[in-house]
């Protein structure tokens, strides 16, 4: 009798796990579908200038410029669009310069990747530790500087630890957060920042989660 009860308990637990897995999977699908619907609704309500601002905020400068250039001269958005166009052109130039500097930095780091005196190694280790400590804060600063509504940014505690590349001397930091868009919808995002040893964010890419 006790063996039969034990068997029933095991079967019940297995069924419970299967049901939980199925419900969890359906719930995840539901959340993903709701996010897709919210994004489609947001897209439908967006004006060309709002679309350009969204693309510019995540570093898609060519797409932003294409949206701006599609706004006719007689449009109510035209004047503001031309002002924003100047910002986008400048951001694109700065990112291109940063990418060139980063490539040069990588080349120098590789050339210096030889045996280093012990004192220099200790100094380098200390610099790396400081860089890792500051990486996440620098990335959060980049988020607030690029979001259209920085006061709505809410950073989450579950972030990946900053990663240091010994070969290039570059740190990659990732932060998760939510922020409201131009229509007031709060959406989740992830910002990945690439930083040099001088703690300067040379590249930041925002993606939806």
Report pLDDT digits (tens) over 102-148. Answer: 888 877 777 766 655 666 667 777 777 877 778 888 888 888 888 88
Q: Is residue 197 part of a domain?
A: yes
191 has pLDDT over 90 = no
166 has pLDDT over 80 = no
Q: Is residue 85 part of a domain?
A: no
- The per-residue pLDDT for range 81-99, each reduced to its tens digit, is 999 999 999 999 988 888 8
Residue indicated by tokens 């002002």: 83
pLDDT tier for residue 20 given thresholds of 50, 70 and 90: confident
In whole angstroms, what is the distance from residue 127 CA to residue 119 CA? 12
3-state DSSP assignment of residue 53: helix
Q: Is residue 135 part of a domain?
A: yes
pLDDT of the residue at 63? 92
To the question of pTM greater than 0.85 for the whole model, the response is no
163: domain range? 120-209
In whole angstroms, what is the distance from residue 17 CA to residue 29 CA? 18
Say how many domains are in the chain.
1
Q: Is residue 90 part of a domain?
A: no
Tell me the CB-side half-sphere exposure of residue 145, using CA atoms within 13 A: 14
Q: How far apart are the first and last CA of the chain?
A: 51
pLDDT of the residue at 65? 93
3-state DSSP assignment of residue 173: strand
Q: Is residue 199 part of a domain?
A: yes
Q: Is residue 12 part of a domain?
A: no
> How are beta strands 163-165 and 154-155 bridged, if at all?
unpaired
Determine contact, residues 100/165, Cβ cutoff 8 Å.
no
The neighbouring-strand residues paired with 179 are 187
pLDDT of the residue at 85? 92
Mean pLDDT of 204-209: 58
Q: Is residue 171 part of a domain?
A: yes
Q: Is residue 196 part of a domain?
A: yes
Q: At what angle do helices 61-69 and 48-57 cross, to 10 degrees?
A: 170
Determine contact, residues 204/191, Cβ cutoff 8 Å.
yes
């Amino acid at each position: 009798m006790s063996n039969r009860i034990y068997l029933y308990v095991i079967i019940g637990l297995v069924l419970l796990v299967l049901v939980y897995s199925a419900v969890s999977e359906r719930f995840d699908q539901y959340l993903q579908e709701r996010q897709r619907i919210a994004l489609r609704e947001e897209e439908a309500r967006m004006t060309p200038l709002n679309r350009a601002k969204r693309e510019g905020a995540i570093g898609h400068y060519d797409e932003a410029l294409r949206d701006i250039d599609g706004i006719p001269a007689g449009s109510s958005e035209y004047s503001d669009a031309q002002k924003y166009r100047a910002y986008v052109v400048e951001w694109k130039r700065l990112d291109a310069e940063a990418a060139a500097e980063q490539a040069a930095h990588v080349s120098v780091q590789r050339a210096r990747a030889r045996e280093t005196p012990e004192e220099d190694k200790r100094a380098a280790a200390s610099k790396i530790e400081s860089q890792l400590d500051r990486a996440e804060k620098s990335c959060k600063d980049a988020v607030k500087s690029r979001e259209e509504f920085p006061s709505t940014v809410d950073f989450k505690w579950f972030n990946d630890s900053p990663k240091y590349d010994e070969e290039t001397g570059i740190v990659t930091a990732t932060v998760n957060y939510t922020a409201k868009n131009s229509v007031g919808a709060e959406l989740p995002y992830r910002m990945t920042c690439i930083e040099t040893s001088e703690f300067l964010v040379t590249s930041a890419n925002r993606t939806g989660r």
